[in-house]
Amino acid sequence: MVPLIDIADNLIHVLNLYIGFLEMHASKSVGKRHEELFHRSSSSNEGKEVSLKHRMVKQALLTFRNLFCTLMQQYKADQPGNLVPSKVGMEAAMLMKRKHQWENSKKHVGHVLGIEVGDRFQYRAELYVIGLHHQFSKGIDYVGTGSESLATSIVVTDRYDNVRKSGTTLIYIGHGGNPNVQRNVAVHDQKMEAGNLALKNSMDAKSPVRVILKDAGKFDIMDNCPFVYDGLYLVDKMVQERGKYEKLVFKFTLNRILGQSQSCVFLKDDVMDNGNNLRQFASFALRKRLKSRSCVVQKDVVRINDISEGKEKISIRVVTPVECDQIITPFRYAVANNYLERFKLPVLCGCDCADGCVDPGKCACIVKNGGKLPYECNKRLASIMESSLIYECDPSCKCPSSCINRVSQHGVQFRLEIFITKLKGWGVRTRSFIPSGSFVCEYIGEVHNKRETRSNLGANDYIFHMGVGKGFIDAKSLGNIGRFINHSCSPNIHVKDVMYDHNDKNLPHKMLFAVKDIPPGRELSYDYNSSKRKFIEFRSNSCYCGSQECHGQF
């Protein structure tokens, strides 16, 4: 006699077969919906993984830069006038390694998770810390040994006669025998070994190589990040020729893989010198009129050269597509808040640091910041995740205007422009590279009493809530470029409360700082919500930021 449990199992099995039969013959539309849901779920998981890795890479860079600044300050005190940034960077990187603070520490071929094409870096050691290039000084990085080795990345510098022949083709000189790299070393023929052999193996295997470009000239005064990740290339061919010092060198021709986003930088095309030799490696310049999402739109024309009318130190232009005739609703541009007379703002008590606020224990302003400098030596946020309230030195302080604790009060320092977005109306994007932690702009307007704002102003998309404070900033009729910055569920700037000209914590300055490196051409955005409050309440809360983390509303 068959046990009942076996009969039940058989019935369940038959039912599952029947259900499978029905599902297999179900409508195609239902099948497509299931497929879409599956792909959507997979895409969402991938997006979360990429987002997480971005944050981890950003944190590693922030840790490195904080440590680098700390070491630089120590060296300035101990060894004035004898600083070598590359050595300090290497020391900072090795300290992080001992604390297991590196990211992507295992070498591999292809893109590095958490790093995008166009990302820029200040120091060579940063490439090591985030796993983009695992060599402190050598230009070719590789994995494996001998005939099994493959190149993973190369750094293109002006120490060799490297040349960009077009926007997508690069001639790269192999490693070795160059007195510009190793001084007091005899010039010799390059050998087919180590990195050179790895590049040849990559050519034979058609294996992609990461290319990092380094500036050979001068960047914009605010742009001191000379290393740029330019994406994946394939080694097309290799020749051996007499080089600059009449010794044999390997010349590798690499072609950029199509379909990658642009890095918004390029090398000037090479020219022939007397018909024989290629000109020395040319300097970087910002690429204009690129059709990339991260670069300036090709058909935009300048409608207003400077909407601030000279009030900002750097002009802010307004651009639109050629066929667009939309104009900005008139408002008065201002570089400072307009407080109503009923606000009595207590004055801050300044510090006595005539020589600069370098001693946290003696500076009264730094004591208010918990005894820590809120900014690094390069005047960027020391820690993006620290408390949102910052005390800067005020007009009564004895320190100079160049003090390290005076950052946001100096106004806009980057080239910004107002443009028309596809779905969000006016927006703001940067024409300069903005390093993580940099001050971008203040949200400026008329500061109203909380009760008066609610009763008299009505519907207004330009009202910025002070939070637990007693006021609102209304930028509808008076404001600055901050009024045009859109919301994003995955923002690249965020809000910090800064005090520097009064001592009323209920009415802080709303300052916007970069939370990540922002390449030229990228739109600026911040999250209109925070964990405690809404900064701005729009009449329509539908979100069109288009990020992988978009919630659909804000």
- Which residues lie closer than 8 Å to 136 by C-beta, 6 or more apart? 86, 90, 93, 124, 125, 128
Instruction: Tell me if 252 sits within 8 A of 172, measured CB to CB.
Output: yes
> Is residue 99 one of the residues assigned to a domain?
no
> Is residue 515 one of the residues assigned to a domain?
yes
One-character DSSP codes across 456-516? HT-S-TTEEE-TTSSEEEE-SSEE-GGGGPEE-SS-SEEEEEEESS---TTS-EEEEEESS
The CATH number that applies at residue 424 is 2.170.270.10
Q: Does 156 share its domain with 115? A: yes
Q: CA 437, CA 493: separation in Å to the nearest integer?
A: 9
Q: Is the dihedral of CA 476, 482, 486, 489 positive or negative?
A: negative
Q: Does 461 share its domain with 505? A: yes
Instruction: Tell me if 318 sits within 8 A of 330, measured CB to CB.
Output: no
- Which residues lie closer than 8 Å to 489 by C-beta, 6 or more apart? 527, 543, 545, 547, 549, 550, 551, 554
Q: Does 274 share its domain with 327? A: no
Q: Does 319 share its domain with 268? A: no
Which pLDDT score, from 0 to 100, does residue 289 have? Answer: 31
Question: Which residues on neighbouring strands pair with residue 214, listed in sequence order?
Answer: 227
Q: CA 393, CA 398: separation in Å to the nearest integer?
A: 9
Which pLDDT score, from 0 to 100, does residue 251 have? Answer: 92
Which pLDDT score, from 0 to 100, does residue 217 have? Answer: 44
- Which residues lie closer than 8 Å to 470 by C-beta, 6 or more apart? 449, 450, 506, 507
> Is residue 149 one of the residues assigned to a domain?
yes
- Which residues lie closer than 8 Å to 490 by C-beta, 6 or more apart? 51, 545, 547, 548, 549, 550
> Is residue 85 one of the residues assigned to a domain?
no
List of the chain residues with pLDDT < 50? 1-41, 217-223, 266-298, 453, 455
What tokens does 19 get?
A: 């259900």
Q: Is the pTM higher than 0.75?
A: no
Q: Residue 206: which domain range?
A: 110-286
Q: Does 336 share its domain with 478? A: yes
Which pLDDT score, from 0 to 100, does residue 480 have? Answer: 97
> Is residue 56 one of the residues assigned to a domain?
no
Q: Among 286, 318, 335, which residue terminates a domain? A: 286
Q: Does 482 share its domain with 449? A: yes
- CA distance readout (Å), 483 to 68, 443, 525: 35, 7, 11
Neighbours of 237 (CB within 10 A): 10
Q: Does 282 share its domain with 327? A: no
> Is residue 241 one of the residues assigned to a domain?
yes
Instruction: Tell me if 413 sits within 8 A of 505, measured CB to CB.
Output: no
Q: Does 278 share its domain with 224? A: yes
Q: Does 169 share its domain with 315? A: no
Instruction: Tell me if 163 sits within 8 A of 283, measured CB to CB.
Output: no
Instruction: Please give the angle made by the CA atoms of 179, 185 and 187, to the nearest 5 degrees.
Output: 60
> Is residue 460 one of the residues assigned to a domain?
yes
The CATH number that applies at residue 154 is 2.30.280.10
Q: Does 272 share its domain with 129? A: yes
Q: How many domains does the chain have?
A: 2
Q: Is the dihedral of CA 499, 505, 508, 512 positive or negative?
A: positive
> Is residue 537 one of the residues assigned to a domain?
no
Closest CA to 293 of 259, 258, 262: 262
Which pLDDT score, from 0 to 100, does residue 532 have? Answer: 56
Q: Does 247 share its domain with 279? A: yes
Q: Does 122 share its domain with 267? A: yes
- CA distance readout (Å), 129 to 91, 250, 276: 11, 29, 40
